[in-house]
């Protein structure tokens, strides 16, 4: 029961209570979870037939950072970038952006705090610059500076033409950045809301990223028709 269209350059907030389906939607968009019904496209790739291709196109920061504890911060970022065929030349810049330059870049990931681990995951996305960013509770475990960093990274990604989908309980933080707020409940869309200030056409109608295909998911049985 989830119908969703997200344009390039848009920030989409997924809201809803625990168990509403936010993480599940992110996992579908990441190509990690198969569609049980309906249809969907991410960046022009069909989620039913080619979902594994989607994984190379999107970047996801989940609840638990996907790091190798024995590798250093920098080695983890380089490893993830190589796997995603990203530009290794951006590693240093990305680590500086997330505040993990200097001594911390040579620290084994196993010795990092939860917030520092999250910053490593963010660094991978900053370096990769995927066309679709999927962020699951990105502010969790972060201090004030880290939270501001997440906000900046989201805004920069959208300004660069990427689509950002953020699942969050912290609506006062994320709604001001949002082009759409999609409230989920029981695995369905309960409400789609475009916060004040959103102009017809949305951020995705700006000149940046117009060549990118939108992200479209149309609900399965019981879902609403696509508008």
Among 1, 9, 21, 38, binds ligand ATP (CB under 6 A): 21
Pairing assessment for the beta strands 215-218 and 39-42 based on DSSP bridges: antiparallel
If the CB atoms of residues 25 and 125 are measured against ligand ATP, the closer one turns out to be 25
**Contact in structure between 127 and 86 (CB atoms under 8 Å):** yes
Number of residues that bind ligand ATP (CB under 6 A): 9
Among 4, 6, 12, 20, binds ligand ATP (CB under 6 A): 20
Indicate whether 24 belongs to the interface with ligand ATP (CB under 6 A): yes
d(CA 56, CA 93): 22
If the CB atoms of residues 27 and 90 are measured against ligand ATP, the closer one turns out to be 27
d(CA 37, CA 42): 16
Among 1, 8, 9, 16, binds ligand ATP (CB under 6 A): 16
d(CA 139, CA 30): 20
If the CB atoms of residues 6 and 20 are measured against ligand ATP, the closer one turns out to be 20
Indicate whether 219 belongs to the interface with ligand ATP (CB under 6 A): no
If the CB atoms of residues 90 and 188 are measured against ligand ATP, the closer one turns out to be 188
Q: How far is the CB of 195 from ligand ATP (least distance, A)?
A: 20
Indicate whether 9 belongs to the interface with ligand ATP (CB under 6 A): no
Indicate whether 34 belongs to the interface with ligand ATP (CB under 6 A): no
Indicate whether 51 belongs to the interface with ligand ATP (CB under 6 A): no
Indicate whether 117 belongs to the interface with ligand ATP (CB under 6 A): no
With CB under 6 A as the contact rule, which of the stretches 19-27, 42-50, 152-160, 192-200 interacts with ligand ATP?
A: 19-27
Q: How far is the CB of 218 from ligand ATP (least distance, A)?
A: 18
Indicate whether 36 belongs to the interface with ligand ATP (CB under 6 A): no
Among 6, 15, 22, 76, binds ligand ATP (CB under 6 A): 22
Indicate whether 172 belongs to the interface with ligand ATP (CB under 6 A): no
Three-state helix/strand/coil letters over the chain: CCCEEECCCCEEEEECCCCCCHHHHHHHHCCCCCCCCCEEEECCEECCCCHHHHCCCEEEECCCCCCCCCCEHHHHHHHHHHHCCCCHHHHHHHHHHCCCCHHHHHCEHHHCCHHHHHHHHHHHHHHHCCCEEEEECCCCCCCHHHHHHHHHHHHHHHHCCCEEEEECCCHHHHHHHCCEEEEEECCEEEEEECCCCCCCCCHHHCCCCCCCCCEEEECCCCCCCCC
Binding positions for ligand ATP, rule: CB under 6 A: 16, 18-24, 167
């Amino acid at each position: 029961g989830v119908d969703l269209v997200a344009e390039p350059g848009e920030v989409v907030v997924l809201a809803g209570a625990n168990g509403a389906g936010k993480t599940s939607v992110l996992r579908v968009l990441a190509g990690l979870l198969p569609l049980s019904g309906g249809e969907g496209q991410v960046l022009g790739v069909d989620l039913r037939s080619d979902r594994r291709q989607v994984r190379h196109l999107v970047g996801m920061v989940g609840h638990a950072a996907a790091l190798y504890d024995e590798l250093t911060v920098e080695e983890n970022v380089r490893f993830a970038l190589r796997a995603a065929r990203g530009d290794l030349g951006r590693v240093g810049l990305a680590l500086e952006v997330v505040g993990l330059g200097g001594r911390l870049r040579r620290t084994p990931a196993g010795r990092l705090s939860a917030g520092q681990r999250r910053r490593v995951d963010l660094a991978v996305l900053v370096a990769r610059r995927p066309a679709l960013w999927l962020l699951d509770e990105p502010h969790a475990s972060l201090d004030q500076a880290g939270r501001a960093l997440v906000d900046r990274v989201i805004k920069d990604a959208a300004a660069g033409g990427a689509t950002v989908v953020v699942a969050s309980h912290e609506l006062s933080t994320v709604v001001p950045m949002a082009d759409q707020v999609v409230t989920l409940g029981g695995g369905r869309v309960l409400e789609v809301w475009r916060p004040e200030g959103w102009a017809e056409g949305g951020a995705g109608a700006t000149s940046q990223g117009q060549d990118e295909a939108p992200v479209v998911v149309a609900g399965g049985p019981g879902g609403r028709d696509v508008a």
